[in-house]
Amino acid sequence: MPVYEYVCKDCQTRFDKLTRGADGQHVTCESCASGNVRRLMSTFATVGGFDDTFVAGENMGGGGCCGGSCGCGH
């Protein structure tokens, strides 16, 4: 079963829930018990391989991280 992230439209609480695909319509807020919740689009990171043109320390582009935590220099 996948874990989905939800936000309550009433109290704005964000929470994760382990649900089956069909059960996602019956999720209630963990904070206020409202059934007025929306499933959020999740983001995730992927790790790719390097080819022989990679030079350590050079900016590889991509622009996908931009969070500063990966050490790529963005």
Residue 13 located in a structural domain: yes
Q: In what order do the strands lie in the sheet with 3-8?
A: 14-18, 3-8, 37-39
Domains contained in the chain, number: 1
Q: What is the pTM of this model?
A: 0.52
Residue 35 located in a structural domain: yes
Residue type present at position 37: V
Residue 10 located in a structural domain: yes
CA–CA–CA angle 25, 30, 35 (5° rounding): 35
Integer Cα distance of 27 and 6 in angstroms: 9
Domain that holds residue 31: 3-39
Residue 54 located in a structural domain: no
Interval 2-32: pLDDT, tens: 888 999 999 999 999 887 766 556 899 999 9
Residue 9 located in a structural domain: yes
